[in-house]
Amino acid sequence: MPAVPTADTGPGMPNMDDPKNIYLLKEAPVFKALLSLGIPMAAGLAITSIYNVINSYFVGHYGTVEELAATGYGVPVFGIIMAIAGVFGLGSSTLASRLLGEGNETRIRNVTSFALYSALACGVVVAIAGFLFADPITGLMGASGASFEPTKTFVHLLFLGAPFSVGMFTLEQLVRSEGYAKQSMYGIIWGVVINSIFDVLLIAVLGWGIAGAGWAMLAANAASMVYYLQFLIRKSPNFSWKPSDFVIAGDIIKPVFAVGAAELIQSANLTVSALVLNNIAAGYGDDSVAAFGLAMRLNMVPEMLCMGICMGGIPLFAYAYGARNRDRVRSALKTAAMVSVATSIIFTTPVLILRRQLLELVGDSSLVATGEKVLIALMLAAVFNAVSIVFVSWFQAAGKGLPATLMTLGIALLFFPAVIFGNMWFGFDGLTWAFPFTQISACVLGVILFFATGGTKVKDAPASGTPEHGVTEIKVESE
């Protein structure tokens, strides 16, 4: 039976028996809850970006040019691994949050056990496949000549660490699903610390070069995974690492993979978009490629903050949806949209005003002229992107896999024709303005999908995770 609010425990009436993390999800003022969940997530995303910077510094300073290039060639491989991690991480965590709102603790244990062991098993399969096909994968990444062997070494280690990478991300999402936002961030910080220590030891002291960078990343992800695992075992009464709680059932697999598929498409879209954009922009010269690179890095600030707010808010949306609390769902979504748009405007306005001065710090007059066009287009697109992120986050939180997938797939289907035909018909200006066109169109698509799927309407029947009549369930028995 789903949890039914009473006069003492309904929205706005604090229940002193609830732990702080549940209080945030259940009844804390929405604005406070959103910031408490979103700020650590945004900080975690920012800290995560330090990984590549640290590795690049040590490899570039103590290694060779070919080894430094290998870190770049390996990025798509790591992106693929993390995209797979997103299937289990986001899919299972949103389901767990909805079940938490329903009060269905028993099924949460089945979901978390399924997520843990499925993620680890998938990571092992990816690792084996990566080792078997390392040579063609390395070539596919673009490595050749003197950079081939260093890249192959790095790719080998990325695949070797796949079980830890997938397991770490899945457990981190499960930690967030129960409202433990700060602990999620602590695990990320712990990983960065371990990564830095091993970079110093393996690259600077022992001179392992690119191999040292690979082992450092592996150790960091393993350390973070252990942190999240021990935290959940100690603190969460809903988490289960027991094989006896592992079940294969349609009411678990369907929502996990429905939401996870959207995350997989989104990750793949980011990788392919970067490749397509770089190849087209290269036709206009190095200044154009540099301008897009700089503008995207500046655009990452508001985008990362908006993603942090919305991803941090996903457990809040999901819990309220599972608890059938429509008023809280509506309030949380409105607040997330307003905070995301306001954040985007606050951070893009100074960049637009000072765009020439910022560009002059890093380039000559040619880069400034090109960069101004790109910055204006990307900064305007950022506001609409903030709204798109809210829609995608809501669909994922509510377990609405089809609209979430259509939203992420729609962005890809809008972006690629806009870039290709914009470039064909209007040259560099068409290429540049493909970004705001895509994001405005995505917002319109989001509005259509939002109302077509019932808006914030909650179901009377159990939203998720309750075994239904006729659903086959396979349970692993252990002595």
Q: What percent of the chain has pLDDT over 90?
A: 25
Question: 118 and 232: one domain?
Answer: yes
Stretch (H or E) spanning 475: strand 473-475
Considering the domain boundaries, does residue 89 fall inside one?
A: yes
Pair 134, 159: CB distance under 8 Å? yes
Domain of residue 101: give its range. Answer: 40-247
What band does 298 get if pLDDT is binned at 50, 70 and 90? Answer: confident
Range from 4-13, 322-331, 437-446 carrying the lowest mean pLDDT: 4-13
Question: 192 and 328: one domain?
Answer: no
Q: Does residue 59 or residue 191 have the better pLDDT?
A: 191
Say if residue 284's pLDDT is above 90.
no
Question: 242 and 349: one domain?
Answer: no
What is the model's pLDDT at position 363? 59
Say if residue 470's pLDDT is above 50.
no
Considering the domain boundaries, does residue 263 fall inside one?
A: no
Question: 228 and 102: one domain?
Answer: yes
Considering the domain boundaries, does residue 300 fall inside one?
A: yes
**Boundary of a domain, candidates 205, 228, 247:** 247
Q: Residues 317-321: what's their mean pLDDT?
A: 91
Question: 229 and 301: one domain?
Answer: no
Say if residue 409's pLDDT is above 80.
yes
Q: Does residue 372 or residue 451 have the better pLDDT?
A: 451
What is the model's pLDDT at position 60? 74
DSSP string for residues in 203-261: IIIT--THHHHHHHHHHHHHHHHHHHHHHHHHH-SS----GGG-EEEHHHHHHHHHHHH
Considering the domain boundaries, does residue 477 fall inside one?
A: no
Q: Write down the pTM of the prediction.
A: 0.79
Range from 30-34, 146-150, 270-274, 469-473 carrying the lowest mean pLDDT: 469-473
Q: Spell out a b/e string for 234-256, using b for 16 or more CB atoms within 10 Å of the CB, else e.
A: eebebbbeeeebbbebebbebbb
Q: Residues 237-253: what's their mean pLDDT?
A: 86
Considering the domain boundaries, does residue 219 fall inside one?
A: yes
Say if residue 12's pLDDT is above 70.
no
Q: Among residues 96, 53, 60, 58, which one has the least CA distance to residue 75? A: 53
Q: Does residue 7 or residue 285 have the better pLDDT?
A: 285
What is the model's pLDDT at position 357? 80
Question: 168 and 284: one domain?
Answer: no
- Strands 247-249 and 473-475, sheet pairing: antiparallel
Top mean-pLDDT range of 35-49, 242-256, 435-449, 453-467? 435-449
Say if residue 2's pLDDT is above 60.
no
pLDDT in tens, 88-108: 988 899 899 999 888 888 888
Question: 53 and 116: one domain?
Answer: yes
What band does 126 get if pLDDT is binned at 50, 70 and 90? Answer: very high
Strand, coil or helix: what is 473? strand
Q: Residues 112-125: what's their mean pLDDT?
A: 94
Question: 281 and 231: one domain?
Answer: no
Question: 219 and 303: one domain?
Answer: no
Considering the domain boundaries, does residue 211 fall inside one?
A: yes
Question: 234 and 280: one domain?
Answer: no
Considering the domain boundaries, does residue 27 fall inside one?
A: no
Range from 234-243, 270-279, 441-450 carrying the lowest mean pLDDT: 270-279
Question: 187 and 320: one domain?
Answer: no
Question: 140 and 278: one domain?
Answer: no
User: How many domains, in total, are found in the chain?
Assistant: 2
Considering the domain boundaries, does residue 175 fall inside one?
A: yes
What is the model's pLDDT at position 52? 65
